[in-house]
Structure 1
Amino acid sequence: MNAVVDTARRQAQEYAGEEDRPLGSYLGTLGVYALTTATMALLGRRLRDRPPAIGLADLALMTVTTHKASRVIAKDPVTSPLRAPFTRYSGTAGPSELSEEVRGKGVRHAVGELITCPFCTAQWVATAYAAGLVFAPQATRLAGATMTAVAGSDWLQLGYARLQRAAEG
């Protein structure tokens, strides 16, 4: 067993070089994701005769919802208290979005990277949405429709602001 641990530590050192890369913590988050996904799949299989069919309409709703929910989690000022234990405010990143630096080491750093990256968070959001379609499809679709409407509204707000600037200039 010590040989496995020594090999893993050596590989982590060779990978990271002088940088602080929390590979063990990343492995832990991957483990949590895999365990959660497997548990949802097993529960879904036990509680349902068959998995729900995901048609194009559900896929479109899931796609827009995943995009918007991931950005809300990772960038929205209102969700910054959830990120605060893992990040440091460093300014704004665009309309109604924050820029934050990840802080800490180990698990704290790994979680900080996960929750400040909308691309990283998207996988977790999409998985939760898929589980929602299995366990509570109507509520999940309602939440998805709400987030999709918010995403559409965002684009309209940005377009409106651009038109206002064009009219002034």
Structure 2
Amino acid sequence: MEPVSRTPTAPADYALLSGTFASLLALTAVAARNRRPIPASEYVPLATATFALSKLLVHEKVESWVREPFVEETEDGRRPKGRGLRYAVGELLTCTRCSGAWSALGLVALRTHSPELAKTVTTVLTVSAGNDFLHSGFTWLASRTNIETARADAAQPG
């Protein structure tokens, strides 16, 4: 990520995003005041769901409509477009770690406000992340098998 001095943004653009995040975080904390704390047993599913949601927003074609006003698709990948706040939001939508913080806030806010709905959403996203993990493992295993098969074939005499 480029320093602010080398982007078409001003510090105020990032301050607006930070202020919005801080305000939403404060509202979530206030809403959670008189509620039971989220049990530690839900942290891993929430983290996994956060991973899946941020990956969905930043990388998946199905969410390109969300990114389109802020992100330009190029042959080299994605880059923020526009100037000012639009560019800053584009940076957010090209960074899974950055969008992960916002995804986590949204999921925890949902969990605070509507625990049963949040459990359903978290379950879907967690299972989706598990699916990604299994597909990655299968792809790795298949590529290792192909490499070993090619080695064995090359070692065969004439």
TM-score with structure 1 setting the length: 0.77
Number of paired residues?
Answer: 145
* Distance of 1:153 and 1:19 partners within structure 2: 37
Counterpart of 1:107 in structure 2: which amino acid?
Answer: L
Match of 2:151 in 1: none
- The one-character-per-residue Cα deviations of 1:101-159 (angstroms, maximum 9, x if unpaired) are 11111011011011211111111111111111211101101111111111111111111
* Distance of 1:22 and 1:75 partners within structure 2: 26
| Structure 2 residue 85 is matched with structure 1 residue 107 | yes
Q: Is the 8 A contact 1:22 1:105 kept in 2?
A: no
Counterpart of 1:28 in structure 2: which amino acid?
Answer: L
Counterpart of 1:55 in structure 2: which amino acid?
Answer: P
Match for residue 117 of structure 2 among 119, 133, 139: 139
Moved more, 57-66 or 27-36: 27-36
SS at match of 2:78: strand
Match of 1:67 in 2: 51
1:19 CA displacement: 4.8
1:89 CA displacement: 0.7
| Structure 2 residue 7 is matched with structure 1 residue 29 | no
TM-score with structure 2 setting the length: 0.81
Match of 1:89 in 2: 73
SS at match of 1:100: strand
* Distance of 1:19 and 1:148 partners within structure 2: 35
Gaps of 5+ in 2: 148-158
1:22 CA displacement: 2.7
Divergent runs of 4+, >6 A: none
Gaps of 5+ in 1: 1-14, 93-98
Counterpart of 1:42 in structure 2: which amino acid?
Answer: V
* Distance of 1:147 and 1:124 partners within structure 2: 15
Counterpart of 1:83 in structure 2: which amino acid?
Answer: R
Match of 1:150 in 2: 128
Q: Is the 8 A contact 2:57 2:63 kept in 1?
A: yes
Counterpart of 2:11 in structure 1: which amino acid?
Answer: L
1:21 CA displacement: 3.8
SS at match of 1:85: coil
| Structure 2 residue 27 is matched with structure 1 residue 39 | yes
1:41 CA displacement: 3.2
* Distance of 2:59 and 2:85 partners within structure 1: 20
Of all paired residues, the percent bearing the same amino acid is 25
Q: Is the 8 A contact 1:86 1:102 kept in 2?
A: yes
